[in-house]
Amino acid sequence: MIIPSLLILKSLEGDDKDICSFFNPDMFNKESTQGKQLVSLKKSYEQGRIKMGSSFDYYNLIEKCLLEVTLNEKEKK
């Protein structure tokens, strides 16, 4: 499950080389359940980036969480 999650994370950044749309085009249909979930996920992701203040740091934090890497105290905050 980690690789699909990482691909979706890359898609949120617009850097998945259209792999997600090739293998799961339904997730980009805003009328489908998956499409609605993606819209909600994008909104949450953007809010997190703004709150953290650094796109790079936020991306790395989410990536660590997806890979189940232990976070240090600063990252947990």
For 17-75, the pLDDT digits (tens) are: 999 999 999 999 999 999 999 999 999 999 999 999 989 999 999 999 999 999 999 88
User: Total structural domains in the chain?
Assistant: 1
Domain with 53, as residue range(s), is: 2-76
Q: Tell me the three-class secondary structure of the chain, residue by residue.
A: CHHHHHHHHHHHCCCCCCHHHHHCHHHHCCCCHHHHHHHHHHHHHHHHHHHHCCHHHHHHHHHHHHCCCCCCHHHHC
What pLDDT does 14 receive? 92
